[in-house]
């Protein structure tokens, strides 16, 4: 078994809506059926008993090693606690070559699981050792390192539950919710609206306490100290017992409570200095340690925190009892688990010594041994939910404390005997106010009801009914997608939206180009949706990006499929038939927003029309012929259609109609260019689906000029000293046919064409282009592309010549090396009244070259 290539599909893709690892695997003839590998399955199960069923019940097809790899990679992740369920193995048209697809939740974990699965298969083949428990433990640890912590995760989960898109910006806790101008950001349990000033105040415990005291909030007496002697002086001032802690600490680090002697204070002071230079001493308040979670002007959860402790059984030592508690699967070393392992560190040992105990002591049955004074979960404490017990006065005090400091999300630490009575009645007080509070104690309390605290935090960012999304149109197809993308973006701009657009020419936001090159893939889509000025987005989705990485978004409001025709790029990446192309293109249709989204589909193309059955939203069909059976049926059912009637594009739904004269759409050249009418209809349907006013649609159509600025390389018409030049990026038989049909309606004495061919097409696709041109043009000037895309020098030109054999119209054929030299040769042969179609390769450079020639003097 040989792994040829592995890549991550980071968005909805050909196989699934989930993120997945796709790998190409080559198996020998014997490896097609593991039944032929004597003892293989027994050896496999001996190494990884949890692998489960290798194929669904009732399946009688032979099982290949690729199938085993798939199952093993999925089950290794599942055993490590990853919530993955989807996997698939598909044999390609190349015998012995398989595509294996396995879902992942964290990319690094998915990749490592695949590597481990491959190692498992190899060791089972070779009868070598494989430690499945170690592999699973490694994956579990990697998953904990990679995924967001529970606090951030709860907010992310709540956002997704509301349909808000999520993008993780770092390996840490910085996450963007929403798109473009509607996006908001969080970092752990902290909102982007929270000021650095408020966070700074919260970190300064003395300043916090003084501000709260000034606001009438009960707080313990105390102040910062400069030395251990100063600390003892404060202790005598406020009265013992006291608490010693770093002034800007967090998570309970360096905190020692209930200090009653000078020796204890000196030790506590030394401990606190390990975590900060500025130390606080304040009066110790008796009672329990409570944490109240404030979001905005609401208290959303409360928990009582108990210090780490063990319960004696009269048999085991304290060290053994700690080990037993730490075996709880809810306890881990970081913040990725519900609880943290108890540590017998210096603070715990000092606490035991004060009680006359050591880790080797055997406490009596039922004896409670407390290992720290502070009750933070990060030091091994536990939590009990008390949200329903909080007295309204205590909740009001906590909210007042958070608002005094200026925190939108705030963990308020309260010391008192009970949550059932006001603080003043029991001598309790607020001891700390925390920015970015940990949420584990509320999400997974040791005892009591779990609270979905992520939801109110998302509500604080996005009011009810808002999902943080901007209008998004995805466009795909074999031909016309770039022009359609540009026209839709132009209509959005006419509506006043700052529009992000991606296509094969670059990424544009609000009319400014922010990236260049072929930007029709998912990375460019993500960048467009990330831009803070994006009010709406129109994203071209080409086949390459879909295959390579999936979509750059989770779903779109409108999906436009212009056509499939005979397909393009057939034979690449196992896409070998037109049906394969259609299955790939329909990915954007499958990911339309359920119920409220729209698919805009070409009813005249059977492969596109069939996509309606997989659309989770509604469908608008478009076609020239309103009497097309599919169009007529769809309209009779009260659905939306767009068609041509006379000299107008008509949009109709039930008895309602709206029309736009073709003469008012410059793109169509007065209705003479059929494929541009298709593009205009698709754009009109998309704008209609989004809900643009019809006056805006008309104005936008009328102001879109199909020149080299608005749509470079898309039927750009120029004039060269009495002759007509047309520059286009047509590069497949369907595009060539559409261009021939368009130019045939334009008058010309002599017709010439300049053409090359892309080397990554099939031989028959390259020859078909010149076969079509040989029926419509008098002169054909061939040139070789700047990039042959895997072809030998001169191979593409030979295929183009082959297509011109027995051409019924072409009387002049020549071959020029170099695109610009070929263009100049064609121009030199033009006379007034002639027409020349230039099929450009280097679009921008070729257009600039043509513009210079048109602006230059007439040839002598």
Here the tokens at position 668 are 């169509």
Give residue 793's pLDDT.
81
Q: Tell me what percent of the residues of the chain surpass a pLDDT of 70.
A: 97
pLDDT at 114 over 80: yes
pLDDT above 80 (res 377) = no
Q: Are 122 and 47 in contact (CB under 8 A)?
A: no
**Which two tokens mark 807?**
């051409």
List domains and CATH numbers for the chain: 2-146 (no CATH), 150-187 (no CATH), 221-283 (3.30.1490.20), 288-390+406-461 (3.30.470.20), 472-703 (3.40.1190.10), 716-855 (3.90.190.20)
Question: How does residue 206 score in pLDDT terms, banded at 50, 70 and 90?
Answer: confident
Q: Kindly report whether the global pTM for this prediction surpasses the value 0.85.
A: yes
Give 485-502 pLDDT, tens digit per residue. 999 999 999 999 999 999
pLDDT of residue 227: 94
d(CA 811, CA 693): 52
- Share the mean pLDDT of the chain: 93
Distance (Å) of CA 243 to CA 62, 117, 200, 636, 655? 70, 53, 22, 78, 78
**Pick from 539, 504, 505: nearest CA to 531:** 539
Let me know how long the chain is.
860
Task: Judge contact between 785 and 817, C-beta under 8 A.
Answer: no
Cα 208 to Cα 217: distance, rounded to the nearest angstrom: 11
Flag whether pLDDT at 788 surpasses 80.
no
pLDDT digits (tens, 9 = 90+) for 175-199: 999 999 999 999 999 999 999 999 9
Cis amide bond preceding 241, omega within 30: yes
Contact 164, 178 (CB under 8 A): yes
Residue of 789, 798, 793, 849 lying closest to 825 (CA atoms): 849
Chain segment 726-771, per-residue pLDDT in tens: 999 888 898 999 999 999 989 999 999 999 987 777 888 889 999 9
Fill in the DSSP letter of residue 191: B
pLDDT single digits (tens) 123-176: 999 999 999 999 999 999 999 999 998 899 999 999 999 999 999 999 889 999
Task: Quickly tell me which residue has 């000299």 as its tokens.
Answer: 647
556 Cβ contact partners less than 8 Å away, ≥ 6 residues apart: 472, 473, 474, 539, 588, 591, 592, 593, 597
pLDDT in tens, 516-554: 988 999 999 999 999 999 999 999 999 889 999 999 999
Cα angle 319-321-325, degrees, rounded to a multiple of 5: 115
- CA 796/CA 712 separation, integer angstroms: 25
Residue 572 has pLDDT above 80, yes or no: no
């Amino acid at each position: 078994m040989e792994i040829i290539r592995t890549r991550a599909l980071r968005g909805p893709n050909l196989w699934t809506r989930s993120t997945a690892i796709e790998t190409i695997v080559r198996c020998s003839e014997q490896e097609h059926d593991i039944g032929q590998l004597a003892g293989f399955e027994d050896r496999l199960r001996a190494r990884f008993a949890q692998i489960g069923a290798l194929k669904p019940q009732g399946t009688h097809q032979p099982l290949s090693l690729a199938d085993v790899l798939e199952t093993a990679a999925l089950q290794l992740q599942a055993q490590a606690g990853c919530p993955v369920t989807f996997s698939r193995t598909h044999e390609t048209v190349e015998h012995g070559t398989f595509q294996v697809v396995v879902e992942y939740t964290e990319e690094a974990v998915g990749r490592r699981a695949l590597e481990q699965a491959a190692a498992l298969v190899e060791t089972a083949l070779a009868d070598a050792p494989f430690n499945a428990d170690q592999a699973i433990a490694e994956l579990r640890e990697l998953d904990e390192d990679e995924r967001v912590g529970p606090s951030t995760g709860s907010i992310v989960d709540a956002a997704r539950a509301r349909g808000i898109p999520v993008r993780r910006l770092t390996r840490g806790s910085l996450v963007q919710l929403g798109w473009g101008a509607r996006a908001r950001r969080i970092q752990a349990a902290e909102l982007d609206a929270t000021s650095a000033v408020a966070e700074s105040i919260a970190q300064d415990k003395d300043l916090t306490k003084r501000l709260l005291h000034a606001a009438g909030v009960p707080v313990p007496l105390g102040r910062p100290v400069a030395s251990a002697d100063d600390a003892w002086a404060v202790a005598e001032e406020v009265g013992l017992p006291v608490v010693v802690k770093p002034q800007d600490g967090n998570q309970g680090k360096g905190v020692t409570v209930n200090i009653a002697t000078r020796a204890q204070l000196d030790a506590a002071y030394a401990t606190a200095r390990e975590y900060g230079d500025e130390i606080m001493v304040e009066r110790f308040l008796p009672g329990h340690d409570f944490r109240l979670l404030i979001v905005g002007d609401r208290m959303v959860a409360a928990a009582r925190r108990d210090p780490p402790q063990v319960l004696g059984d009269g048999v085991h030592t304290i060290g053994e009892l700690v080990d037993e508690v730490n075996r709880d699967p809810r306890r881990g070393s970081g913040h990725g688990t519900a609880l943290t392992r108890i540590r017998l560190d210096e603070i715990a040992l000092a606490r035991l010594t004060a009680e006359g105990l050591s880790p080797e002591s055997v406490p009596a049955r039922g004896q409670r041994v407390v290992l720290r004074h502070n009750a933070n979960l990060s030091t091994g404490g536990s939590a009990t939910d008390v949200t329903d017990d909080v007295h309204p006065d205590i909740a009001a005090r906590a909210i007042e404390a958070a608002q005094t400091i200026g925190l939108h999300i705030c963990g308020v630490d309260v010391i008192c005997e009970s949550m059932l009575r006001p603080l003043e009645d029991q001598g309790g007080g607020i001891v700390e106010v925390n920015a970015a509070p940990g949420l584990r104690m509320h999400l997974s309390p040791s005892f009591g009801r779990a609270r979905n605290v992520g939801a109110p935090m998302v509500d604080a960012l996005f009011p009810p009914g808002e999902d943080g999304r901007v209008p998004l149109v995805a466009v795909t197809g074999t031909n016309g997608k770039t022009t359609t993308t540009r026209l839709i973006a132009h209509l959005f701009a006419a509506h006043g939206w700052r529009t992000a657009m991606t296509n094969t020419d670059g990424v544009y936001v609000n009319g400014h180009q922010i990236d260049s090159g072929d930007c029709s893939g998912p990375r460019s889509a993500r960048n467009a949706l990330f831009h803070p000025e994006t009010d709406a987005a129109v994203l071209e989705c080409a086949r390459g990006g879909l295959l390579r990485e999936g979509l750059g978004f989770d779903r779109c409001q409108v999906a436009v499929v212009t056509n499939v025709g005979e397909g393009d790029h057939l034979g690449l990446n196992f896409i070998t038939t037109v049906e394969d192309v259609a299955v790939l293109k329909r990915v954007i249709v499958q990911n339309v927003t359920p119920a409220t989204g729209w698919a805009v589909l070409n009813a005249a193309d059977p492969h596109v029309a069939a996509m309606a059955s997989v659309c989770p939203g509604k469908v608008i069909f478009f076609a020239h012929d309103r009497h097309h059976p599919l169009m007529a049926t769809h309209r009779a059912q009260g659905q939306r259609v767009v068609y041509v009637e006379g000299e107008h594009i008509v949009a109709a739904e039930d008895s309602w109609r709206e029309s736009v004269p073709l003469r008012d759409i410059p793109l169509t050249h007065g209705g003479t260019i059929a494929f541009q009418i298709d593009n205009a209809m698709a754009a009109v349907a998309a704008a209609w689906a989004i809900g643009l006013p019809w006056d805006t649609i008309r104005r936008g159509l009328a102001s879109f000029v199909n020149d080299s600025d608005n749509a470079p390389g898309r039927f750009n018409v120029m004039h060269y000293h009495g002759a007509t030049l047309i520059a286009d990026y047509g590069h497949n038989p369907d595009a060539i046919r559409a261009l021939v049909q368009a130019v045939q309606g334009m008058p010309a004495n002599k017709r010439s064409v300049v053409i090359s061919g892309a080397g990554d097409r099939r031989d028959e696709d390259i020859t078909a282009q010149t076969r079509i041109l040989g029926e419509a043009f008098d002169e054909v000037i061939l040139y070789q592309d700047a990039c042959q895309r895997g072809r030998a020098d001169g191979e593409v030109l030979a295929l183009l010549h082959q297509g011109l054999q027995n051409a019924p119209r072409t009387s002049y054929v020549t071959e020029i090396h170099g695109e610009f030299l070929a263009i100049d040769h064609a121009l030199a042969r033009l006379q007034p009244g002639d027409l020349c179609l230039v099929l450009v390769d280097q679009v921008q450079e070729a257009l600039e070259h043509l513009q210079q020639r048109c602006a230059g003097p007439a040839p002598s």
